[in-house]
Structure 1
């Protein structure tokens, strides 16, 4: 009976779960069934197995429903993930498009920079070609500079000599005229009142000559001669 379980229960349902009708049908399909059990035994077992089978089917159906729900939930999750993945893919494609645009722009900029670098390289080559001439000109300029510096140094030395000479001359000119204190043996003195007088001791007598506020050497000499003549005349009398 267990061997043909599915066939037996299918026949039991088709015969409206009537044991006698099912027994008759199965005897024609499986003649060996009547040899292994009687109708009463079949009737008892088929009812019990039918109830168990219904419970099993119910459990199986519930499990299938739960499984179906789980599958549906998983499907929805997968659809959501797929939708998110598509959105992410669209974003990636958009970013890739922007990246491609940026890459193209960068390549254009690189091409421009390469052109500029080439131009600079050409200019550098020209500068290098002119380097020898520039170096010679620079050396010549340096030599001329040294020559001019040497001439300038000599001129400064000459100028220092001239300045030193002028300083000496100016100092000589700026020296105040020093009035001699002794003229022809007479002592010349300036008193507190600002007047000049000459003094000399002759024959134990002090003689004086009034000169005035102005110190005039020639005038002093004339006065001294006059005074000495006067003294000599007095001594000869």
Structure 2
């Protein structure tokens, strides 16, 4: 049985839900008994590749500089992302699975559910941090519901310290501060907070403002 993964991926021109066998460097991953149970170390490598894909998607969206197009894409994406998280959380809950207690998921069904949730939690975090104005506009009156799920994502992803890397740990820390103002560090700044370009030229200069404090979202080895 193949180890399948569905992740909501936001593309510059369209949004797709991919359902593919996990791969490393383009090669399918299966163990000797043709089962889809992966070791934690092997999935950690796969997860890193998925995170690189997330970075590529976000960078393309930023480069497009098209507010309305990004708004439409993210509106579709958030719906799919949170649906996948909810649906697969049912599987995780049915196994009474606790990562810090049980280690990496011990069977294929649970591994698939865990991977889908982790990857979609991360792309949701990337989207919110890099497109905060658009995201909050999409969440609207439903923000309390999305905030609850994003806080759950923060806890869930951080419960896999043997899987995630420093960049992902940093991403989740910034996500937590972004949505929980009362827990922000005194010098917290998200430089991606800026007025949409279509709201007037007077906001244009904000894009070039340099912040000396706060979380670094670029220009380091732990770039989000």
Whichever of the two has the greater Rg, that structure is 1
Q: Which has the higher contact order (CA 8 A, sep 6+)?
A: 2
Greater helix proportion: 1
TM-score, reference length from structure 1: 0.16
TM-score, reference length from structure 2: 0.17
